[in-house]
Amino acid sequence: MTTTHPLPVGTAHGDPAAIRLSVLDQSPIGEGRSAADALRATVTLAEYAEALGYHRYWLAEHHESRSFAGTAPEVLTGLLLRSTARMRVGTGGILLPRYDPDKAAETMTLLRRLHPGRVDVGIARGGGPSAGFDDKLQRLYQRLTEPGTGATADAGEPVGNLWLLGAGGSTAPLAGRLGAGYAFGHFFAPRNGPTAVAEYRGHLRAGSSPSTVLAVRAVTAEDPRHAAALAQAMLLWRARKDLGHDGPIPTPATAARHIWTPEERAQAAMHRPTVLHGTPEQLHLRLTYLARAHQATEIMINTLAASPEDRMASYELLAARFRIGSAQVTPALT
């Protein structure tokens, strides 16, 4: 990969008040591709996102999935920290109900010692029984903020670089009480966002600064018809998953040929508000509006596409429209 020299990560040509863009990567497995292909595409996309000027890059956790290859976000975090130089990298998120909080804290502390000031610890409630989650989270927080663990209080970042991921409910006030950051999953519950963020801010621990990230599923292309086709493929994947068919992300051609059942159409209609698409200009307007509505200065983009090239092109177009960096890079696809 060859690059020019982008501006400092997270800035928009020197404007500190501008919206930051980040990446939430689920390591999607595209139709006709393998899990290994998906993981290699994640590494390439992370390197490309840094060159474009994205602020942070989070890795999701999924298990026994034919759609996503990322089963161990802490392992991928370590790998991507080695293959990037400036961008923040982290888990988005560790499914804490599945794990011992001490072990999770030790793993992330090890990464922070190796890469100080660059590691985010994103935690999610899913993946197991929710009973005892609050206690596990409190234990994790204590371990992450112990002296000598590499905990930082960088400007604009939450205490210990700890983030809670949620879609409303009890996670938002819990994040506030801890002084953690709050990442709202718009693509899970698009209508809950402003209320959830208000709950987070209303419970924010004294002395803490609010840190809010808005996670949005979106795709763009210079041709609006291609953007719509990519969105339709995402909706077909989501509809079929809801109905018990957990498969790879279909190509736009497959989605165009598909004969939709009434049940699939109903599921797609329900999820349509969660998949934003259009030209870069159209998405810039919609994402800017959403950021303001959620009092967020950072948007984390999640793009699912069968083709790594389509994903990379979408992230490049958004970087250029939001002016987060030079956006003049040549990707090295693998």
| pLDDT tens, position by position, 14-46 | 343 579 999 999 999 999 999 999 999 999 999
Q: Confirm whether 75 is domain-assigned.
A: yes
Residue 264 within a domain: no
Residue 292, C-beta contacts closer than 8 angstroms, at least 6 positions apart: none
pLDDT attached to residue 126:
87
| Lowest-pLDDT range of 5-14, 46-55, 179-188 | 5-14
CATH number at residue 132: 3.20.20.30
Has residue 247 been placed in a domain? no
Containing H/E element for 112? helix 101-114
Determine the pLDDT at residue 160.
79
- CA distances from residue 68 to 15, 46, 326 in whole angstroms, order as listed: 36, 16, 30
**Of all residues in the chain, what percent carry a pLDDT higher than 90?**
82
Alpha carbon distances (Å) from 35 to 83, 132, 192, 261: 20, 33, 33, 28
CA 114 to chain CA centroid, Å, is: 23
Q: Which amino acid is at 87?
A: M
For 183-223, how does the pLDDT look when each residue is reduced to its tens digit (9 = 90+)? 999 999 999 999 999 999 999 999 888 999 999 999 999 99
In a domain, residue 73? The reply is yes
Please tell me the predicted confidence (pLDDT) of residue 7. 34
In the structure, what pLDDT confidence band is assigned to residue 155 with cuts at 50, 70 and 90?
Answer: low
Is residue 98 in some structural domain? yes
57 in a domain, yes or no?
yes
8 Å CB contact between 283 and 277: yes
Q: Is residue 263 part of a domain?
A: no
- Residue 118, φ and ψ in degrees, nearest 5: -125, -5
As for how many domains the chain has, the answer is 1
Q: What is the pTM (predicted TM-score) of this model?
A: 0.92
Domain that holds residue 217: 2-222+275-330
Per-residue burial over 218-229, b = 16 or more CB atoms within 10 Å of its CB, e = otherwise: bbbbeeeebbeb
Q: Structure tokens of 246?
A: 């957990």
Asked if the structure places residue 298 within a domain, the reply is: yes
